[in-house]
């Protein structure tokens, strides 16, 4: 049994079958990559895991409990954290202030944006935020205005904001999309470090094959809403079905 068990999941948007017969098992403490051409249904699948979409059919079990019918917030409380395709940080706040948001949420069980004034009274949370920023090598940028940072740094901050919630499962939707090579390599290093040092499972959607092959223990290829192949990375590269569907060869 995997930490995440997806069974017979299907999702339609009107006449369009975005997902059908999706069966996928993610093993605890592994890094499982989901790859596939544009429009294959990767983001839709992720949305079904975090409560943003409800599948029409099938089941999604996390640590033996169904996530279906639960709100994104409840699913987050179960231990699933997600980094979106576009960074969801608060550009008007500094790096440090952004870090405080998930910590308030963890303490209060809800986001309290208006409590930002009281940040400086919250000693324990401040220490936690600093520790996390140090872990992702951003402590020196703590007073930087978030909006003015590079894409890579925004992503790094967003990941730190997820990690401070101590998720058991981290979901990443194209974390290196639009990044310069140096930022991509930094992100790979950060994810490797997270994987090695934490008791965490990672499911990653990624276009960049360099990223996928640097991190993944298992790869599922999704094509037209359904898993085509699932295997270890070394068997995926030359797989004829994959080349046909994914690389268009």
Residues that bind ligand ADP (CB under 6 A): 13, 16, 18, 36, 38-44
Q: How far is the CB of 122 from ligand ADP (least distance, A)?
A: 38
Q: What are residue 145's DSSP bridge partners? A: 94
**Between 35 and 190, CB nearer to ligand ADP:** 35
Tokens of 59: 């089941």
81 counts as binding Mg ion under rule CB under 5 A: no
**Between 84 and 90, CB nearer to Mg ion:** 84
Q: How far is the CB of 46 from Mg ion (least distance, A)?
A: 8
Residue 1: helix, strand or coil by DSSP? Answer: coil
**Between 10 and 37, CB nearer to Mg ion:** 37
Query: For Mg ion, which residue of 43, 184, 214, 220 counts as binding (CB under 5 A)?
Result: 43
- Of 24-32, 39-47, 59-67, 154-162, which part binds Mg ion (CB under 5 A)? 39-47
Residue 109: helix, strand or coil by DSSP? Answer: coil
Q: How far is the CB of 7 from ligand ADP (least distance, A)?
A: 19
**Between 36 and 102, CB nearer to ligand ADP:** 36
Query: Is the dihedral angle over the CA atoms 34, 201, 30, 150 positive or is it negative?
Result: positive
47 counts as binding Mg ion under rule CB under 5 A: no
Angle between helices 151-163 and 123-135 (to 10 degrees): 130
| d(C-alpha 153, C-alpha 109), whole Å | 27
Tokens of 191: 């994810």
Element (H, E) at 33: strand 31-35
| d(C-alpha 74, C-alpha 117), whole Å | 27
44 counts as binding Mg ion under rule CB under 5 A: no
């Amino acid at each position: 049994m995997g930490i995440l068990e997806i069974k017979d999941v299907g999702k339609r948007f009107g006449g369009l079958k975005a997902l059908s017969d999706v069966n996928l098992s993610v093993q605890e403490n592994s890094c499982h990559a989901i790859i596939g051409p544009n429009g294959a249904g990767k983001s839709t699948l992720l949305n079904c895991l975090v409560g943003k979409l409800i599948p029409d059919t099938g089941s999604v079990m996390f640590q033996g409990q169904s996530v279906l019918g639960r709100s994104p917030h409840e699913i987050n409380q179960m231990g699933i954290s997600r980094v979106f395709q576009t960074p969801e940080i608060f550009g008007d706040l500094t790096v440090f202030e952004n870090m405080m948001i998930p910590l308030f949420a963890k303490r209060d069980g809800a986001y309290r944006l208006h409590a930002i004034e009281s940040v400086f009274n919250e000693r324990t949370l401040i220490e936690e935020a600093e520790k996390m920023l140090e872990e992702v090598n951003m402590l020196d940028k703590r007073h930087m205005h978030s909006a003015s940072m590079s894409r890579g740094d925004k992503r790094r901050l967003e990941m730190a904001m997820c990690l401070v919630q101590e998720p058991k499962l981290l979901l990443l939707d194209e974390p290196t999309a639009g990044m310069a090579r140096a930022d991509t390599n930094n992100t790979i290093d950060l994810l490797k470090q997270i994987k090695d040092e934490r008791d965490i499972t990672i499911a990653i959607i990624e276009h960049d094959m360099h990223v996928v092959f640097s991190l993944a223990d298992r790869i599922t290829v999704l094509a037209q809403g359904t898993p085509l192949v699932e295997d270890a990375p070394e068997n995926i590269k030359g797989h004829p079905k994959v080349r046909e569907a994914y690389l268009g060869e």
